[in-house]
């Protein structure tokens, strides 16, 4: 038993002392790595080598859905609870883009062990994209869809695994194109493009996912804590936090 503990301590020590990836190495490998390896590299770049950060990186890059018992039980229960909010989420009762995650009644819409105010940014981005494409789905149904297949992340403590929203959109008949670097995004974007962007909070542990749309050469963000226009993705990322991944949407 003592030998096992000693081995584990050595492994942890080696992991804690591992050097961080440089920005140039992340950029050069981004186009050739699988999405899982790419995200792992990005997290290594911004890691503070804490145990929490390691778990954060491991869970978000996993390709498996977590079919926990709690997720399956909650899916049906939450569907019944959340249906009345399908109209209450909209000021006039008709579907519009959701852009104020921090306001009521987001804190009453259940997702995992939390609520949309706490962990709903990926689902809000998906909702907004589907609405933009004329494929509207009630939020209660979107929550049910994610919960029932286990796409929820640590029972909702960290929201939704970011790899799962692409898979969900594809099931809705939406074509997606992934981008691994900010430069790729700025080189490819054009008016009318719609994106889902995920970045890491600049001042906190966690990630945020939003819809972005380009009009007249500028980028409008939705549900970005004070939605604003940006001249480029480089500017958007510089002012909000480190880039993780982005997806361009096509109907």
H/E element, 168:
helix 164-171
Q: Output the DSSP codes for 127-149.
A: HHHHHHTT----HHHHHHHHHHT
Predicted confidence at residue 110, as pLDDT, reads 94
pTM of the predicted structure, to 2 decimals: 0.76
What is the C-alpha separation between 104 and 108, in angstroms, rounded? Answer: 7
184, 225 in Cβ contact below 8 A?
no
What is the C-alpha separation between 164 and 80, in angstroms, rounded? Answer: 23
Q: CB under 8 Å to 162, separation ≥6 — which residues?
A: 39, 60, 122, 198, 207, 209, 244, 245
- Residue 189 confidence class, pLDDT cut points 50, 70, 90: very high
| pLDDT tens per residue, range 115-156 | 999 999 999 999 999 999 999 999 999 999 998 888 887 777
| pLDDT tens per residue, range 31-67 | 445 555 555 555 555 445 454 454 444 444 444 444 5
The answer to whether residue 30 scores a pLDDT higher than 90 is no
Place of tokens 């907004």: 128
| pLDDT tens per residue, range 147-178 | 888 888 777 777 888 878 888 999 999 999 99
């Amino acid at each position: 038993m003592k030998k096992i503990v000693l081995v584990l301590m050595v492994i942890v020590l080696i992991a804690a002392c591992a050097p961080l990836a440089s920005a140039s190495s992340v950029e050069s490998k981004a186009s050739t790595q699988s999405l899982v390896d790419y995200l792992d590299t990005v997290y290594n770049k911004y890691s503070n080598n804490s145990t929490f950060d390691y778990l954060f990186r491991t869970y978000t890059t996993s390709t498996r859905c977590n079919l926990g018992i709690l997720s399956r039980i909650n899916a049906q229960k939450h569907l019944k609870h959340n249906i009345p909010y399908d109209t209450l989420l909209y000021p006039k009762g008709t579907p519009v883009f959701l852009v104020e995650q921090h306001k009521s009644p987001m804190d009453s819409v259940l997702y995992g062990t939390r609520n949309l105010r706490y962990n709903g940014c990926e689902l809000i981005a998906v909702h907004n994209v589907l609405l933009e494409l004329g494929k509207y789905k009630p939020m209660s149904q979107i929550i049910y869809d994610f919960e029932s297949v286990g796409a929820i992340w640590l029972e909702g403590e960290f929201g939704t695994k970011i790899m799962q929203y692409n898979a969900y959109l594809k099931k809705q008949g939406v074509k997606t194109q992934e981008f691994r670097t900010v430069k790729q995004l700025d080189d490819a974007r054009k008016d009318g493009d719609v994106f889902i962007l995920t970045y890491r909070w600049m001042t906190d542990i966690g990630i945020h996912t939003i819809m972005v749309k380009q009009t007249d050469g500028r980028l409008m963000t939705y549900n970005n804590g004070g939605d604003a226009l940006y001249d480029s993705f480089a500017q958007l990322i510089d002012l909000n936090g480190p880039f993780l991944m982005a997806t361009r949407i096509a109907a």
